[in-house]
Amino acid sequence: MDLDLMRELSVETDSKIILLILDGLGGLPMEAGGKTELEAANSPNLDAMAAESDLGMSRPVAAGVSPGSGPGHLGLFGYDPLEYIVGRGVLSALGVGFELGENDLAARINFATLDGDGKISDRRAGRISSEKGEELVALLNEKVSLGGAEFFVTHEKEYRAVVVFRGEGFSGSLSDTDPQRVGLEPLSVTPADDSNASQKRSASVANEFINKANEVLADEHPANTVLLRGFGMHPTLPSFDEAYKLNAVAIAGYPMYKGLARLAGMELKKEGEGISGEIETLKSSWDSHDFFFVHMKPTDAAGEDGDFDRKKEVIEEVDALLPEILSLEPDVLAITGDHGTPAKMKSHSWHGVPFMLRSEYTLPTGDKFGERACIAGSLGTFPAEEIMGLLMGHAMKLNRYGA
């Protein structure tokens, strides 16, 4: 999406847009001749909506490339995921719900095992339990202190954690310390550019943290050291307000998606539990916002588990709640995913993702919401980054370009 064009053309209006993301929505037949999860679902409400909608296939990132959640959502929000890079450390921080500030430097931590010769003998510290991981994180936060910066370690899961350094003038252009193989010494954090003062200072703070962590963890074999990787700063994205003049709210349950939405300057809201809780939140926010990013995770989780039937059932659950969403009478309602997670693959995929957009100004081509109906739809196959433009156009929130 050309964000400068959006900035130039967008206008504030009363119209309201809902972007409903069923994470990992796209699917595949389990065997030749079969249906996809979405095609197999009994979804009369989605199908009725399709009969009033533009359909198409939204393609994330690049041909053949399966996106992670970060690039997948940046694309949906209209940011080029190859231009706006969100480092692993930042995503981890977002994922654990850490309120990352603009000057914060984040890195992913793996607890690991150092042998008597100072070499890494296990890059995951024997996959210590989450309880043990939490205990070690508390120890680091309590016992380590740095000369030049504040820091916060937050536990993720098992041997994984995230550290955020807070101070002035940091840079994320730093090397990883994980040697990637056992039998080697951990690497020092080094600046990408030796002559860059903020990189040098950042590296020095990170190395100080590692050295002090090693002292604190000395007796904690097998988790007696930390490996740091994926250094990165909070990326600066043009906000939804700035780019689209939208007063956007994100209704999402998982920290990662809340974090990504916050990067785009969206307000965060979530009341109640599960999918129906999200619908409740949508209703309660209806009068105060004009853009609603609603994120539903269970489709992706079922796909990752390879559970075709559960993914189908989640879609049916959403289908049953659709009338409640439609009763809000959004000017534009689009339903799609950030990528496919076909149960057949048990992973994110590169395939096109079914996309459906309902507004007063559509050219319907069928009465089914499914991959093959979307392939034959009025929008064809198009880059996911174009979705925001479509939403804005259908909501009559874009001025004509040129006279």
Nearer to a copy of itself, 61 or 325 (CB): 61
Measured between alpha carbons, how far is 59 from 1 in angstroms, rounded to an integer?
A: 13
Site map 116..155 versus a copy of itself, x via CB under 8 A: ----------------------------------------
Nearer to a copy of itself, 113 or 362 (CB): 362
Measured between alpha carbons, how far is 178 from 182 in angstroms, rounded to an integer?
A: 9
316: helix, strand or coil: helix
Residues 259 and 93 sit within 8 Å (Cβ to Cβ): yes
94: nearest Cα among 121, 67, 73 = 73
* Cα of 239 vs its chain's centroid, Å: 16
Residues 323 and 355 sit within 8 Å (Cβ to Cβ): no
Residues 177 and 187 sit within 8 Å (Cβ to Cβ): yes
Residue 149 C-beta: closest distance to a copy of itself, Å: 24
- Hey, which residues between 8 and 27 contact a copy of itself (CB under 8 A)? 9
Reported in sequence order, the residue ranges of 77-217 that DSSP labels E, i.e. its strands, are 105-114, 120-122, 150-157, 160-166
- Hey, which residues between 360 and 389 contact a copy of itself (CB under 8 A)? 360-365, 371-372, 375-382, 386-389
Nearer to a copy of itself, 28 or 333 (CB): 28
Q: Is 96 near a copy of itself (CB under 8 A)?
A: no
Residues 81 and 67 sit within 8 Å (Cβ to Cβ): yes
Q: Is 52 near a copy of itself (CB under 8 A)?
A: yes
Q: Is 92 near a copy of itself (CB under 8 A)?
A: yes
Nearer to a copy of itself, 65 or 301 (CB): 65
Nearer to a copy of itself, 64 or 116 (CB): 64
Site map 327..346 versus a copy of itself, x via CB under 8 A: ---------------x-xx-
Considering only the stretches 56-64, 158-166, 177-185, 216-224, report the one whose residues sit in contact with a copy of itself under the rule CB under 8 A: 56-64
- Hey, which residues between 62 and 91 contact a copy of itself (CB under 8 A)? 62-72, 81-82, 85-86, 88, 91
Residues in contact with a copy of itself, total (CB under 8 A)? 71
Nearer to a copy of itself, 74 or 275 (CB): 74
Nearer to a copy of itself, 318 or 334 (CB): 334
What is the DSSP secondary-structure string of 260-299? HHHHTT-EEE--SSHHHHHHHHHHHHTTT-SEEEEEE-HH
Measured between alpha carbons, how far is 305 from 344 in angstroms, rounded to an integer?
A: 9
Residue 339 C-beta: closest distance to a copy of itself, Å: 9
DSSP 154: E
Compute CA distances 396 → 131, 360, 392, 400, whole Å: 52, 10, 6, 10
Q: Is 392 near a copy of itself (CB under 8 A)?
A: yes
Residues 17 and 293 sit within 8 Å (Cβ to Cβ): no
Nearer to a copy of itself, 222 or 303 (CB): 303
- Hey, which residues between 260 and 319 contact a copy of itself (CB under 8 A)? none
What is the DSSP secondary-structure string of 174-187? B-----SSTTSPPP
Among 3, 50, 57, 76, binds a copy of itself (CB under 8 A): 57
Residue 184 C-beta: closest distance to a copy of itself, Å: 21
